[in-house]
């Protein structure tokens, strides 16, 4: 059985007081939700105060990015070891905004995944095709490349810790959610890739989240799909009521 995971990616939003307000609302209204994993990813500057606020709660803390080295002359970067020190248990790696706006490629993402796993943190590894790639019928080739290169060299034991997030780029922040059929098709394809690259137990146990305009009114249909094990939520994670409803999917 794969335990559902609902993650909120707060992106570049919320001051420390705003982040603490949101976390208090989530703690209050989601305290009973022990049947799922709940993760929030605030901006770097809010990680330490939010880590203190979620201590002994059922909410885990993720960073939105990291570098692939633990220390050295890498001005402006933050390492997995320091994220762990700040209280993170998860790190989002390879988000499409990192790939598109900051030039991250599959090889760098692979190095980041290894660095995150080396610190015993859980990577939330994002993949997904652009609209152009989908229209050119390249979705499967793109996903295959991202998964094969991104996960290259990971051991089976490491794979059991990885969470994959399928986020079609055309659905992120656009209000255009993938249909339940489109999402299920992509998730089943990715699971098949994991079986081929690793093993059937890995494919059966790795959680694959869907991300891309998840909202209270579409989460139930998505979560009803066989291969969708949770959601990575951007915009709707910024409002307590919306994120709470998403975490209470039916
Ligand atoms: C995201 O940032 O990963 C995301 C899916 O954003 P949104 O839910 O706003 O589309």
* Structural domains in the chain, sorted by start: 5-11+37-54+81-247 (3.20.20.70)
- Distance between Cα 162 and ligand 1 center (Å): 19
pLDDT value at 191 more than 90: yes
Cα–Cα distance, 127 to 146 (Å, whole number): 6
pLDDT (mean) for 111-127 = 98
Q: Whose CA is nearest to atom 7 of ligand 1?
A: 234
Q: How confident is the model at residue 155 (pLDDT cuts 50, 70, 90)?
A: very high
CA-wise closest residue to 6 among 32, 41, 50, 36: 36
What is residue 184's predicted lDDT score, i.e. its pLDDT? 98
Whether the complex's predicted ipTM is more than 0.95 is answered with yes
Q: Was 235 annotated as part of a binding site?
A: yes
Q: Catalytic residue numbers?
A: 95, 167
**C-alpha pair distances (Å), 248 with each of 30, 112, 146:** 8, 32, 31
Q: How confident is the model at residue 204 (pLDDT cuts 50, 70, 90)?
A: very high
Tell whether ligand 1 has an atom less than 6 A from the beta carbon of residue 193.
no
CA 239 to chain centre: 18
Reported pTM: 0.98
CA-wise closest residue to 39 among 6, 68, 74, 65: 6
Query: What are the pLDDT digits (tens) for 51-107?
Result: 999 999 999 999 999 999 999 999 999 999 999 999 999 999 999 999 999 999 999
Q: Was 173 annotated as part of a binding site?
A: yes
pLDDT value at 1 more than 90: no
Q: Whose CA is nearest to atom 6 of ligand 1?
A: 234
pLDDT value at 177 more than 90: no
Q: Was 3 annotated as part of a binding site?
A: no
């Amino acid at each position: 059985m794969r335990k559902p995971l609902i993650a909120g990616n707060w992106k570049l939003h919320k001051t420390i007081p705003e982040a603490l307000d949101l976390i208090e609302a989530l703690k209050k209204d989601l305290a009973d939700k022990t049947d799922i994993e709940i993760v929030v990813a605030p901006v770097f500057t809010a990680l330490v105060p939010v880590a203190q606020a979620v201590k002994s709660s059922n909410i885990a803390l993720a960073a939105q990015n990291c570098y692939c080295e633990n220390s050295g002359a890498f001005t402006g970067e933050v390492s997995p070891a320091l994220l762990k020190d700040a209280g993170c248990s998860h790190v989002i790696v390879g988000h499409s905004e990192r790939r598109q706006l900051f030039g991250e490629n599959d090889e760098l993402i692979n190095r980041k995944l290894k660095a995150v796993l080396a610190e015993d943190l859980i990577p939330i590894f994002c993949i997904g095709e652009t609209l152009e790639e989908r229209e050119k019928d390249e979705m499967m080739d793109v996903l295959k490349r991202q998964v094969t290169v991104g996960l290259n060299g990971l051991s089976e034991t490491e794979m059991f810790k990885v969470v994959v997030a399928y986020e079609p780029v055309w659905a992120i922040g656009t209000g255009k959610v993938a249909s339940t059929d489109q999402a299920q098709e992509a998730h089943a394809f990715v699971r098949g890739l994991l079986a081929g690259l690793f093993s059937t137990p890995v494919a059966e146990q790795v959680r694959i989240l869907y991300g891309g305009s998840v909202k209270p009114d579409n989460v139930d249909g998505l979560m009803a799909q066989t291969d969708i094990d949770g959601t990575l939520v951007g915009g709707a994670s910024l409002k307590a009521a919306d994120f709470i409803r998403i975490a209470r999917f039916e």
